[in-house]
Amino acid sequence: MYNSRLMTSGLCGVLMATLSSCALPKQSLLSTWKEMRHKSSAPLQTGVKYEVRKALANNVPFRPSTIKRYTFVLDDPKPPLLAASNLYRNSQMRVRTTAYTHDESDHIIYGVKNAIGTNLRFGNVRSAAADWSRFPVGTLFRIAGQPGVTYVVDDYGSALVGTGTIDLYKPNRSMMDNWGVRHVDIEVIQWGSYEKSMDLMRDRTKWRHVRAMMEGIEARLRTAALPHGKMPFTAAL
């Protein structure tokens, strides 16, 4: 037993000595280790086929769109909600406004519900309807001369599509008639989301005005993507 241990330790010593004599310089070993570490931690790219074991080695949480044997392709990340503020720079503008109420003939079937399925609002925060390809859902604005009142675009109307008119909700016909048609100065506090607008309208495309708004949004996004493209919206309409 003693002799076998001695022989084993002797062989290990010879082996270590041989490896040491063949080893790279310390600086070269350090550089090689850093290079290997960098390669193993490099982020994976979308649209490129990788072996699963490499993803696991990088601790990458992935949801493969296609798996063939032991390879996968990383999905493109879902884009963030696209706000109109990404396209529009104007926050102050003059617009044409009208008024509507919930018991009008063209709104009576919806009652006090707006296009997003909640109740129409009238208070410090008030509902407004617009062409969502111009003022997307969620747009917040104030009207000059109405301190303490904020309007939110949560509705649309077929007569508004293709126009820059904003329809302001009033709780009764008397207030609606009293408002009439007015050109007012507004300040957009926050632009809404085109993606949310399209998500809400996606199952309503049997209506012509809904299709027109969706086409309008798509056209604006295409225009904005063009190099040196002009802003797709002129405030004064």
pLDDT (tens digit per residue) in 124-153: 999 999 999 999 999 999 999 999 999 999
Question: Are residue 149 and residue 67 in the same domain, yes or no?
Answer: no
125 and 46, same domain (yes or no): no
- In this structure, is residue 132 part of a structural domain? yes
Angstrom distance (rounded) from CA 149 to CA 171 = 15
Strands of the 49-51 sheet, one edge to the other = 49-51, 71-73, 67-68
- Closest listed residue to residue 122, CA positions, set 181, 63, 179, 48: 179
For residue 141, give both structure tokens.
Answer: 């604005």
Same domain, 88 and 190: yes
How far, in Å, CA of 92 to CA of 188, rounded? Answer: 6
- Judge if 181 and 71 occupy the same domain: no
163 touches 179 (CB < 8 A): no
**Statement to judge: residues 109 and 57 lie in one domain:** no
- Cα separation, 217 vs 74, in Å, equals 29
Residue 188 lies in a domain: yes
Q: Are residues 88 and 69 in the same domain?
A: no
Residue 120 maps to a domain:
yes
In contact, 155 and 141? CB cutoff 8 Å? no
Contact between 170 and 126 under an 8 Å Cβ cutoff? The reply is: no
- Contact yes or no for 104/146 (Cβ under 8 A): no
Q: What is the DSSP string of 14-53?
A: HHHHHHHHHSPPHHHHHHHHHHHHHHHHSPPPTT-EEEHH
Cα 123 versus chain centre, distance: 29
State both tokens at 186.
């507004």
Q: Pick from 116, 112, 86, 110: which is nearest to 193 by CA?
A: 86
CATH number at residue 136: 2.40.40.10
Whether the pLDDT of residue 159 is over 50: the answer is yes
Same domain, 111 and 214: yes
Q: Within a domain: residue 211?
A: yes
Q: Of 56, 78, 100, which marks where a domain is finished?
A: 78
Query: Do 64 and 171 fall into the same domain?
Result: no
Which amino acid type is present at position 13? G
Q: Which amino acid is at 91?
A: S
Q: How confident is the model at residue 73 (pLDDT cuts 50, 70, 90)?
A: low
pLDDT tens-digit profile of 39-60?
Answer: 545 566 666 665 655 655 666 6
Residue-range definition of the domain harbouring residue 201: 84-225
In this structure, is residue 9 part of a structural domain? no
Are residues 73 and 88 located together in one domain of the fold? no
Neighbours of 202 (CB within 10 A): 10
- What tens digit of pLDDT does each residue of 200-232 get? 999 999 999 999 999 999 998 887 765 544 444
First to last CA, the chain: 99
30 inside domain: no
Global pTM reads: 0.62
| Percent of the chain's residues with pLDDT above 90 | 49
Are 58 and 137 members of one domain? Answer: no
Both tokens of 105, joined, read 């003939």
Is position 2 within any domain?
Answer: no
d(CA 22, CA 132): 72
